[in-house]
Amino acid sequence: MTRSDSDAFSAELLKAFPRIRFVREDYWHKFWAFEAWRTACARAREASRHEPEIAEFIRAPGSEPPDYFDSLGTDREQYFYAWVEPPHWRPRWEVRTNYVDLRNMPRLHFLFRRAAFNRHGTKWAERAHANHSVRIINLPNAPLPDDDDEVLTLRGDRMLGGWMKGDNRAKAFVAKVWRIASKLTTNLLVAYDERTREPYPHGPEREHHVWAGPDAIAWARQRRHNYLEWAGHWYKPPDSCAELSR
């Protein structure tokens, strides 16, 4: 899913679960003064001292909630938990050695890691004399290609949900989330050979682990060398093959 696809997904989730909340996957980071810790580590290395412990830069959160986002499509984050807060829920935090643990994460939750754009052969100007190509990854928005032959991919990530054995409510929640996602995506795709950039001869197939939103599909159709990517494999929507071979 692109950011636009993720916005649409978030809107449908909010209709189905009005109390759903979107938080960053490492939600405890707001209590860690990361920049101060990194600066202290650099100074310690310069002075040949031991680096300080992370715990020295973690503040006690009290009952403060994690930061919430309006949508899974925000440009401020890429990796999320989505959870349904029970009525009157308050977080119970525990400060550990190197992180803060949430003792009562809502049991209705799933992990969502949004797709990101990748440039596979961008040449940095300062290295052009060496003909050195650098792969630039995890871009939140689609970059403009340098030329018609540049390969750009939208690399999918993952969505994971689970439940404890016998927890039928959590099981039903995950199943409903997946039904919502399946209505907004398609898995009918054509696999491509990343070396020859040609489609495999078996044609379009239902890819069990690869689902793409409409904005991701539209982006893949825009130009010949825009590809969807998952686990090292490249894909396009089926009608792109005929259109681009004309």
Amino acid at 115: A
Boundary residue ending a domain (54, 88, 113): 113
Domains held by the chain: number: 2
Q: How far, in Å, CA of 127 to CA of 114, rounded?
A: 31
Q: What pLDDT score was predicted for residue 125?
A: 47
Same domain, 128 and 240: yes
Distance of alpha carbon 41 from alpha carbon 60, whole angstroms = 21
Please state, in angstroms and rounded to a whole number, the distance separating the CA atoms of residues 239 and 77: 32
What is the reported pLDDT for 243? 43
Partners of 112 in beta bridges: 80, 159
Q: How many residues does the chain have?
A: 246
In the predicted model, what is the mean pLDDT of the chain? 89
- The domain containing residue 97 runs over which residues? 3-113
Same domain, 141 and 93: no
Same-domain pairing of 108 and 144:
no
**20-24 vs 68-69, strand pairing mode:** antiparallel
Give the CA distances from residue 234 to residues 5, 35, 73, 194, 229, in Å, rounded to whole numbers and listed in that order: 19, 37, 23, 6, 5
Residue 25 sits in the same domain as residue 127: no
- The verdict on residue 42 lying in a domain is yes
- Is 66:105 a contact under the CB 8 Å cutoff? no
Residue 177 lies in a domain: no
Place of tokens 């994460």: 105
Reading the block at residue 49, the tokens are 């001292």
Q: Are residues 122 and 146 in the same domain?
A: yes
Per residue in 43-102, pLDDT (tens digit) is: 999 998 998 888 889 998 888 999 999 999 999 999 999 999 999 999 999 988 888 999
Question: 25-41 pLDDT, tens per residue?
Answer: 999 988 989 899 899 99
pTM, to two decimals? 0.86
Q: Which of 113, 144, 165 is the last residue of a domain?
A: 113
CB-CB contact of 122 with 139 (8 Å): no
